[in-house]
Structures are given as structure tokens and as C-alpha cells.
Structure 1
Amino acid sequence: MRKLLKSIKAWRKKRRSEAVKSAFGEKLEVLAGPFAGMKYHFESHGSSIVPKLVGVYEEPIAGWVAEIPQKQYDRIVDVGAAEGYYTVGFAYKNMARVVHGFDISEEARKMLERLAALNNVRDKVTVNGLCDAGKLQELAGKGALVFCDAEGAELELLNPAVVPSLLQTDMIVETHDFLKPGITNTLIERFRLTHRIEVMSDSERQWAKYSWPAMFNDRMKRGWSNEGRPKGMLWLRMLAIHSA
């Protein structure tokens, strides 16, 4: 049974790659958004590749991402890096001296390494497994941005009682209240005295302003743009007051 499931997974992956090739061509690159021009491969981890290629992926926080270079960070810590859309994108756009990508999936880490090599930024990127409190304490602090999409683990990880260097760290966090109710309010309470906090809610993407392959009709564009996210997703941008 395990071999059969593995074969089915491989077959589906091949079919997806063939469909993406057919729509976007043999050489992929991000067409718009904060990482426009970044080369891409025919694989993704945990999310669809199409919104990333079009540039509509996580559109509500695209403005925050575009403002990152203004802060001149020494390092960015990407927790939940998946195949590297943000980790490699940050390095590709020179948004920090070094970008540390963390993901617990070995498959995702291999994809990340391939994407970094494809964009010639392997020397600016470190690829890591689990990001625990000790590692985060070491990497966070002044000059750092923590970019976190940890599927609910942000509740335990982003705790200044355990990781005190976070009190001097800028953060952009996708919160997952649908997995663990109350995460957003808990994080706001933890950092309200030390950070300027903004909340961004998910919204329908402005899909019509992007360039799409000819095979996508309006219904397909709208469907792919919404990324299959649960309703009510939120992001937090928390800027340490020390950097004001």
C-alpha cells in the first residue's frame, strides 16, 4: 500500500509539472510581485505554484515585503520556508546579507537548495531543519527580521519569555487561529509594549491586474488567486520600537 501511495503521489506530481510547463513554458520565472524576475522550478511544497509564478501569492502583504529593503537588515530568518519562495526571494532581491530558511520537511529543504542554486544565491542562503527557541534566540535581535509561517507553531516559538531577543526583533507573522484559536491576540499581547503592531486581513486578490497565460479564463484566475486559504486569515507586522 505504501508503494502504491508513493507511486500515485509521483504520478500526480508529474502531471502537475506537465500542466505548469504547458501553461507557462519550459523556463519559469515569477512574473510580478515583490520577487518579479526570480527563476522558478516545476515544484512547490505545501502550496500551489501558480499564484507564485503569476505574482499574486499572498498579495495582502506584498507591500510589507516590498518595504523590507528600507530597513537594511543584516539577516532574515524565514521559519516555515517550504520550497523557498520567500527565502530565495529575499536573497534574490538583496533584502538582507544572509537569509536563514527553516523547514522541518526534508523534501522542502531539498527544493529550497535547488531554487537557491537556480537563482545563484546559494552563498546568501542557509538551509536548516527545525527552528527551536535556542536557534531563534541566536539569530533574532537587532538587525534581524523574523518572517514566520509555521502553521500554528508561532504560538510556542514567538514567546519573548523563552526567546528574549525577539523583544528587539522585527517580525512578519502569518497567524493560524483556525488551527489554534487565539494566536493573534496572544501575540499582540506579548509584544504590544515593545513593538508597533499592524494587522492585515486576507482579501480577494486583484487577479485582473496580473498577466496570466492564455489558457486561464477569468474563473480559473479567480480560483487560483485565492490559494484555497481558510477564511479569516491574518498577518501581523510587528516592528520593534528600538528601530523607530
Structure 2
Amino acid sequence: MINLKNPTITELINKVGNQIYYGPFSGLKIPEILFDQLTVPEVLGLYESCLFETWGKIAGKAMENIMIIGGHTGYYSASMSYLLQPKNNYTFETNLSLHHFISAWFSTNDLVSPKLYGAATEVIFKNWEDRIDLIICDCEGEEMNLLNPNQFQWQKATDIVVEIHPFYKEKALGELISRFKQTHQVNIIYDDFDEDTKITKILSGLGLQKLKYDKHPTHRWIHQKGKKMFTSGIFLYLDKL
């Protein structure tokens, strides 16, 4: 979900030196065309901070080939390349109009350009030949079609971090665990509801305590049957055995 234009977000970005402020992606430069696209947690580096421990574990592994399913505006695509320095980054994003945002991160930070694709499909994955060491997946329910080691054999040797969308797909969590438990160590991760406390402390220190942003638990929501339904984050880290 793209952030509505917020004039004070530019002030925040300028105060932290036009770069991610904190966390494993600290120092990643923010392209100017992303100034009104990013959220406050993303700029501060606290976005989905529940995954920090996971990123630390992954950083200690050899991740030469990574795949991002659901590139959006490039936050994770660029952050993973910045952190892991892979040889190849394959990023899938269905909305082609967002591809220039993804590319901007890489040119701004002098990172090796990703190989950009449109929608990830089962056909593409059935014919995939390159080794993939890591998948980061956030694709609004399509993870049930795209993550299946029985159908896509190469995924048996791949570490996977996926946001689960049980609000789109019933029994999604249990089904994915069942598919991968023979080849991967399963780790379930939940949203960190203390994230707002950390963000508030930093904003206060920067003199931006009045800066508005979507806080837990209302920062995650979907439209369902014509209504705005609030959700919570559930992630799986599937660590290959």
C-alpha cells in the first residue's frame, strides 16, 4: 500500500541524512523519487522489526542468488542486496509502473541492478533453472500457489521468508508448514507490537513527535466484502536443513 503524500516525511528523511536510519539496512540511501512513497517505519528502519533476528541469521549465510516475490517499491529488493551483496537479484512485481522505483534504489546506492520481472507464475517457477539461495515473498495470498517444494523441486534447497495471508487464504499457515517441514526448519514469527514505542522515542528525539503515521494495529488492513478489515502480520522463516 503506497503511503499518501505527507509533507513532513521529507523533513524526517532530511534529518536522518536521506538514508535508512536504524537496523540492518541502516545507511541505505533513499532515492528522492521515493520520498513520498515510504512510510515512517521504513525510513527509520523499523519496518517489520520482528524480522530483525531472521535477517541476522540470513546475513551469516552465503546468499549469492536471491528472489523477491512482490517487489512493490523496492524496499526489500534493495535492502536485501545492500545487506547480502548477492551476485543475482531476481525481483518480481506485478505492477510494472512500480519498476522504476525499484531500479532507483539500485542506481542511487551503486548496487548491481536486479533482474526485474512482472508477475511470478507457476509456469515460470516450473521452468526455473537457476539456483536460488533465498526467497523473500509477500504476494497477497499467491504464496499458496508459488511456494511448493513438491511442485518446484528447487525450493527444497532455498531459504524462504514469507508473509502469510490467512485473511485471503484459509489454512495457509498450516498448509505451508506441512509442505516444507520435511526439508526446512520452521520458524513462525509475529508482528512486534512494541515497534510503535521505538518509533515514538526516535521521533521525539528528532523533534518530530507530531509526525503522523499508521500505528499498530491499524497499519495492516485489507478490503474484504466491501469492508476495511484489520489484520496482523504472520511470517514464516523456512530455514533449509
| Kept in 2: contact 1:205–1:226 (CA 8 A) | no
The equivalent residue for 2:67 is: 77
Could you tell me how far 1:94 is from its partner in structure 2?
3.3
Alignment pair present for 1:109 and 2:113:
no
SS at match of 1:173: strand
Match 1:28 to one of 18, 21, 31: 18
CA displacement at 1:89 relative to structure 2: 1.0
Q: Which of 13, 23, 28 does residue 38 from structure 1 map onto? A: 28
Matched position secondary structure for 2:163: strand
What is the deviation of 1:238?
Answer: 0.7
Task: State the percentage of identical aligned residues.
Answer: 22
2:233 matches 1:237: no
Question: What SS does structure 2 have at the residue aligned with 1:32?
Answer: coil
**TM-score with structure 1 setting the length:** 0.81
1:118 matched to 2:111? The reply is no
Q: CA deviation at 1:186?
A: 0.7
Distance 1:139 1:34 in 2: 30
- 1:189 and 2:178 are equivalent in the alignment: yes
- Of the three residues 147, 161, 179, the one matched with 1:158 is 147
1:163-242 alignment runs, 5 A limit: 163-210=152-199, 211-212=202-203, 213-217=206-210, 220=212, 223-224=214-215, 228-229=219-220, 230-241=230-241
**SS at the partner of 2:87?**
strand
**Residue 53 in structure 1 maps to residue 43 in structure 2:** yes
**How many Å separate the matches in 2 of 1:225 and 1:115?**
27
| Residue type of the alignment partner of 1:234 | I
Range with bigger deviation, 182-191 or 131-140: 131-140
Deviations 1:178-210 (A, max 9, x none): 111211111001111111101001130334445
SS in 2 for 1:73: coil
Partner of 1:5: none
In structure 2, C-alpha distance between the alignment counterparts of 1:150 and 1:31, rounded to whole Å: 27
Q: Identify which of 136, 141, 145 aligns with 2:134.
A: 145
Output the amino acid matched with 1:215: L
Q: Give the total of aligned pairs.
A: 223
SS of the aligned residue for 1:108 comes to helix
The reply to whether residue 128 of structure 1 matches residue 133 of structure 2 is: no
Shift in Å at residue 83 of structure 1? 1.1
TM-score, length basis structure 2: 0.82
Uncovered stretches (5+) of structure 1, i.e. residues with no partner: 1-11
Structure with the higher fraction of residues in helix conformation: 1
